[in-house]
């Protein structure tokens, strides 16, 4: 909590009225459903919804023993790490290049940021068309030039590659923007001092620029992981639907599949609770870091 105002308006009913809309929506659509999810995760319901039994942590114990669920964790981990690291590295290099140039920075920025505006699911439709097993243009190139048979509907690794490309595509724009802003905020005098001491462009980038933008890098790391965990639902639903054979079944998709398609509400709710814990941890990490930065 930063400084507070030193004077206030006299309270009365007004402040309550002002927070009321936000609070009403928070209570009805956030607090209540979340508590329902937690409650549901402790119950077992038969498939007709006639018989409900309180079972404590049974749903969670079953989850941890379920090899499909553990596999889904592994898939999510591989997916989010590869996508995050890949998108971060590419955008770091691009931002470094853009920052090195004096002219054309704004032009490149405009040409590179628009993919951010494209919905993940639309991005997925575009990429799955390009990689379409029968008519895709890259499928054709891969087959006739490299002799690679591409079919992400059958090959798990190819499916994973496809969702990484389709999700990483728009993250490059986002990361690029933050890296560029971070680099441009570095005082030119620091870079010049390093140059006078004889550091070349690469050396300057590695030992001056990179450490100075590390807060941005950390921020992006968290944001990208959150994105990979939660916002790629559309990408997966439009391309692989978790297949082939669970190869791209990330946690969020499994919650949806088990609940909506499978009708296993108890297990689905338990999975929701696990996800909630993951979000809470990520949020706390992010805010601890912001607090630290403010103190400097």
Partner 1 sequence: MIENRPGLRLFCHAMLLLSVLTLAFPVWIAVVASTHTAERMLTVPIPLWPGTELLDNYRNVLLKGVAGASAAPVSRMMFNSLVMALSIAVGKIIISLLSAFAIVYFRFPLRMVFFWMIFITLMLPVEVRIFPTYKVVSDLHMINTYAGLTLPLIASATATFLFRQFFMTIPDEMMEAARMDGASALRFFWDVVLPLSRTNMAALFVILFIYGWNQYLWPLLITTDESIYTAVIGIKRMIPGGDASVDWNLVMAAAVLAMLPPALVVIVMQKWFVKGLIEQEK
Choice between 73 and 140, CB closer to partner 1: 140
Q: Which position among 14, 67, 211, 295 is part of the footprint of partner 1 (CB under 8 A)?
A: 14
Distance of alpha carbon 218 from alpha carbon 181, whole angstroms: 15
Print the binding letters for residues 114-133 with partner 1: x by CB under 8 A, - otherwise: xxxxxxxxxx-xxx-xx--x
280 belongs to the binding site for partner 1 (CB under 8 A):
yes
**Which string of DSSP letters, residue by residue, matches 122-145?**
HHHHHHHHHT-TTT-HHHHHHHHH
Given candidates 252, 254, 257, 270, which one binds partner 1 under the rule CB under 8 A? 252
Is residue 275 close enough to count as binding partner 1 by CB under 8 A?
yes
Q: How near is the Cβ of 53 to partner 1 at its closest, in Å?
A: 18
What is the C-alpha to C-alpha distance for residues 178 and 216, in angstroms, rounded to an integer?
7
CB atoms within 10 A of CB 18: 10
Nearest approach in angstroms of CB 282 to partner 1 is 9
**Cβ at position 156, least distance to partner 1 in Å:** 18
Q: Rule CB under 8 A: which of 152-181 touch partner 1?
A: 153, 169, 172-174, 177-178, 181
Q: Which of 192, 245, 262, 288 binds partner 1 (CB under 8 A)?
A: 192
CA 204 to chain centre: 31
| From candidates 210, 212, 221, 234, binder to partner 1 by CB under 8 A | 234
- CB–CB of 128/239 below 8 Å? yes
Q: How far apart are CA 52 and CA 46, in angstroms?
A: 7
Binding of partner 1 at residue 68 (CB under 8 A)? no
Of these, 55, 71, 108, 246, which contacts partner 1 (CB under 8 A)? 108
Tell me: does residue 214 bind partner 1 (CB under 8 A).
no
Q: How many residues does the chain have?
A: 296
| Backbone torsion region of residue 242, taken as left when φ is above 0, otherwise alpha when ψ lies between -120 and 50, otherwise beta | left
Q: Does residue 75 bind partner 1 (CB under 8 A)?
A: no
H or E element in which residue 110 lies: helix 105-113
């Amino acid at each position: 909590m930063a400084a507070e105002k030193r004077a206030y308006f006299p309270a009365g009913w007004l402040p309550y009225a002002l927070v009321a809309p936000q609070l009403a929506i928070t209570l009805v659509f956030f607090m209540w459903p979340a508590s329902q999810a937690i409650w549901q995760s402790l119950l077992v319901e038969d498939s007709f919804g006639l018989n409900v039994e309180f079972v404590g942590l049974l749903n969670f114990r079953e989850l941890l023993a379920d090899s499909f669920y553990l596999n889904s964790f592994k898939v999510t981990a591989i997916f989010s790490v590869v996508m995050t690291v890949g998108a971060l590295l590419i955008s770091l290099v691009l931002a470094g290049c853009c920052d090195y140039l004096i002219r054309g920075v704004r032009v490149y920025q405009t040409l590179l940021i628009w993919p951010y505006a494209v919905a993940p699911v639309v991005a997925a439709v575009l990429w799955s068309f390009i990689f379409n097993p029968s008519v895709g243009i890259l499928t054709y190139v891969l087959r006739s030039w490299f002799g690679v048979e591409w079919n992400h509907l059958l090959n798990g690794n190819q499916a994973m590659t496809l969702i990484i490309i389709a999700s990483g595509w728009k993250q490059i724009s986002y990361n690029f923007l933050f890296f560029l802003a971070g680099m441009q905020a570095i005082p030119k005098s620091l870079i010049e001092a390093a140059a006078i001491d004889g550091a070349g462009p690469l050396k300057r980038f590695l030992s001056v620029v990179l450490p100075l933008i590390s807060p941005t890098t950390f921020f992006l790391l968290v944001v990208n992981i959150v994105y990979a965990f939660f916002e790629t639902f559309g990408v997966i639903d439009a391309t692989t639907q978790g297949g082939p054979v669970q190869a791209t079944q990330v946690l969020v998709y499994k919650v949806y599949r088990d609940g909506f398609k499978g009708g296993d509400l108890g297990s689905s709710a338990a999975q929701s609770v696990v996800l909630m814990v993951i979000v809470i941890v990520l949020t706390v990490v992010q805010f601890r870091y912001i607090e630290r930065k403010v103190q400097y």
